[in-house]
Structure 1
Amino acid sequence: MAETVDSTLSPPLPDDRYSTAEKAVIWTAIGLAFAILAGLVLAYDTVWTETLRPIIWEPVVEDAGVAGDAGYTPQNTAIYTLSMLGCVVLLQALFRKWRLPTDERMTMALIAWVCLAPVLRVLEDADFFSSTRDVLFISPIIHLHLAAWLVGIAVVSHLVGGRFDGLSSDRAQESQATLLGGVLFVALMGHWYLLYQPAYDGHPGVDFSLATGGLIVSMAVMWGALVWTRMWPAITRGMMAFATSAVVMGVAHWVQFMITPWAQESGKTSGDLTFWPVWVVLGLPGLICFFLYRMGKEDARQLKLTGYTAGVLPGHVGIKQWEDEADKWADHPVEFLSNKALLAHPMVLGMVFGQLCDGFATMVGIDMFGYGEKHPVSNAVIQYGGAINDALGITWGEGAWLFALVKAALVGLIVWLFVQMRVEQRQQHFRLLIVLAVLIVGLAPGLRDIGRLMLGV
């Protein structure tokens, strides 16, 4: 269809220009960084000893220690939340200026990296890592730690294979896969050598042959991922291949623990392997996502044929023009196909799966296995559910069923918001990073919970 621009309306800003809000966040971040550094130099006791250390660092150290599972406080929860939101605004502006991809392939690669965090965190729960390194696997440090790996893999992948992007010949794609395979093999071996190998010495009575076999399997998975991601940009191809292979390596150590459990410092392991919660925690969300995908896949296919992206306006159209001229754009493919097409998008499916996984895992873990809740807001919801149980004379569980219902309602709200939301071309990175933030607080803890339930740690 013909598309015209109303000259009376301001066009979207170019991608290489920062908006007023972005400039404010960038300068605020710079100002806070300088203020903290100045405080550490000029008022060390006040800034670190009396403020940051007890609020942020000591809970991390306690969580990594023998006692484990230190709870969050309202103070550090607020700090982490505001920091995450600030990072979303700051990083999306930088990523947009660097023209990083925001398509479905990047979404799937980021989901793989989110899955890596709970895989490693469960091993820390099982006291696998040495006491000198276990702090690296405690939230929020684990996310910063893995972000460093992600950035390194992304940069190296682009530098090594970026020149083949857009070339469809077999020779170009095979050359890119070979180069990426070489550097990613070195990176994976470095990942194993730095994180896993030192932990073996702490468990002298365990034969880690299965875990070593998992290293070999992870290399095969890496090559398979490189084959499967043919025609992907080098940056997302490398990110996906490394993350999937690293996840396989971590899960291999789960299997090692199941077969030959090692002694734990905390002594909290139940010694029982439980698999039935997987059908609830992963099966039900997976089934719901399957039906959502079926509902949206046809519209997603048709929208892809038009050359547009679900929920993303044409490049020359701003949000204000789109909303002010709703009748004019009603028949545009982005408007009448996006609502269902987004149901099949990895962004929506990932958030739905993650939030439901977290809700069901929390309910099963607390109401059936006696685990506790660390987050103050979530715990308040569970306590309210317990009060409802008491009022109704229900003796089963602690009230975590209410948390699962709240998560389910949140899923409905997420789906509704995303299928209705339209963004400008320059806002795609913002949308993607919002999704990443939701995955970090939903999918990651949900997978960690099911891992702990399975291993009994």
Structure 2
Amino acid sequence: MVLPSGFTVPPLLYLLGLLAATLLVGGALVRERPAVTSRTVLAFAPWMALGSTLYVCYQLGVVPAIVAPLVSAPAVYLTTFACMGAVWLAARRTAAPRRVLAGVGLLGISLPVAVAVRYGTTHGTLTPAWPLAGLLVALLLTGVCWAGLRRLRVEDARVVEGAGALAVLGHALDGVTTAVGVDLLGFGEQTPLSRLVMEFAGTLPTASVLGVGWLFVLVKLAVAVGVVLLLADYVRDAPAQGYLLLAFVAAVGLGPGAHNLLLFTVASA
């Protein structure tokens, strides 16, 4: 098993409707082929976190029953894609499509965050200190990695631009928040591959001092930087496809990172 625990399949009617919406929006995007640049990938960022924050609300049990199957995992990823794609298509008819796409995403994410924070406040489980410290560490590590890339691989960093930095940030946030959750807050890791890395770290002499999350952080950063560098040539040759791949890489990190950040802020282990 390579998927996290907690994944469920929604009821058949929900599943069919969700698949139909995904195919409809995906087909429209393929036909229209909207331009994809580094700034487009940055406009996707709120949507990458939106699905994760919706899933946090599902885990907290504060989602209305009628829509809950759409924000369970992995259905929430299709739900978010269908909504984002529809907004993207509509935004292309405006004077500032990237701003509209990002703005609607930010407005969308504000609702589940507000609901989750209210839950934490009501239940006395709102503890933002460690998660926010993790966010600051992730930003610091991203800055260090990106400064190194811009110094050692100038052309590659220039090509991937902000999309590459977002990918590194996403995985830094995922790694650091996971380490905070496991080592400091008592949460368990659901993803088997991540758990294997931390189990190995637990066998090292440093485990009693540094915990087990530090190795996961290093692995995430190394993989993110390596993939960004590998994709730089692809972005040069096929910018649209290359930036879409960078967006996927960023989402794989930023989504879980945003999930950890919000869940650890509003819920106790």
Structure 2 length normalisation: TM-score? 0.78
Amino acid in structure 1 at the alignment position of 2:41: T
Q: Does 1:450 align with 2:222?
A: no
Tell me the equivalent position of 2:15: none
Displacement of 1:143 after TM fit? 0.9
Aligned residue type for 1:431: G
Q: Which residue of 1 aligns with 2:156?
A: 339
Q: Which residue of 208, 212, 215 corresponds with 1:399?
A: 212
* Residues 29 and 85, structure 2, Cα contact 8 Å, conserved in 1: no
8 A Cα contact 1:119 1:448, kept in partner: yes
The correspondence for 1:118, drawn from 52, 59, 73, is 52
* 1:102-124 deviation line (CA, Å, top 9, x unaligned): 12331111112102112212212
CA distance in structure 1 between the partners assigned to 2:86 and 2:140 by the alignment: 35
Return the alpha-carbon distance in structure 1 between the equivalents of residues 166 and 211 of structure 2.
Answer: 28
Report the Cα distance in structure 2 between the residues aligned to 1:369 and 1:379, rounded to whole angstroms.
16
Match of 1:411 in 2: 224
Corresponding residue SS for 1:260? helix
Cα displacement (A) at 1:415? 4.4
1:64-116 superposed Cα distances (whole Å, 9 cap, x missing partner) = xxxxxxxxxxxxxxxxxxxxxxx9xxx7x996763411123311111121021
Deviations 1:408-428 (A, max 9, x none): 222332343345x25455x22
| Aligned mates of 2:109, 2:102 — CA distance in 1 | 11
Structure 1 residue 283: Cα displacement: 0.8
**Residue in structure 1 matching 2:180, options 364, 368, 373:** 364
CA distance in 2, matches of 1:338, 1:417: 13
Structure with higher Rg: it is: 1
Instruction: Identify the structure with bigger relative contact order (alpha carbons < 8 Å, sequence gap 6+).
Output: 2
> Does 2:208 align with 1:355?
no
> Matched residue pairs, number?
250
- 2-structure distance, mates of 1:370, 1:272: 14
| Segment drifting more, 278-287 vs 237-246 | 278-287
Rate the CA distance shift 1:433–1:94 in 2: closer, same or farther, 3 A: farther
Q: 1:295 to 1:367 in 2, by over 3 A?
A: closer
Map 1:206-245 → 2, pairs under 5 A:
232=96, 234=97, 236-245=98-107
Q: Deviations over 1:288-307 (max 9, x none)?
A: 4446667889x9xxxxxxxx
Q: The residue matched to 1:60 in structure 2 has which SS?
A: coil
Task: Return the alpha-carbon distance in structure 1 between the equivalents of residues 140 and 132 of structure 2.
Answer: 10
Q: Secondary structure at the match of 1:369?
A: coil
2:201 corresponds to: 385
Does the 8 Å CA contact 1:153/1:239 hold for their aligned counterparts? yes
**2:254 corresponds to 1:437:** no
Q: Aligned partners of 2:164 and 2:252: how far apart in 1?
A: 15
**Corresponding residue SS for 1:339:** helix
Residue equivalent to 1:257: 119
Residue number among 277, 280, 285 corresponding to 2:133 in the alignment: 280
Task: Give the Å deviation of 1:446.
Answer: 0.9
- Structure 2 distance, partners of 1:402, 1:100, is 39
- Over 3 Å counting, the alpha-carbon distance change for 1:286 and 1:342 in structure 2 is farther
How big is the shift at 1:246? Answer: 0.9
Residues 368, 397 of structure 1: 8 Å contact kept: no
- When the two chains are superposed, the root-mean-square deviation of aligned CA atoms in Å is 3.4
Aligned AA (1:282): L
Residue 132 (structure 1) shift: 4.0
Secondary structure in 2 matching 1:130 = coil
Deviations 1:424-452 (A, max 9, x none): 55x22221221222122211101111111
Q: 1:244-268: CA deviations, max 9, x gaps?
A: 111122222233223324xxxxxxx
Contact 1:296 / 1:342 at 8 angstroms: preserved in 2? no
Structure 1 gaps, min length 5: 1-54, 63-86, 166-231, 262-270, 300-335
Structure 1 position 241, deviation (Å): 1.9
Give yes or no for contact 1:95–1:429 (8 Å, CA) kept in 2: no
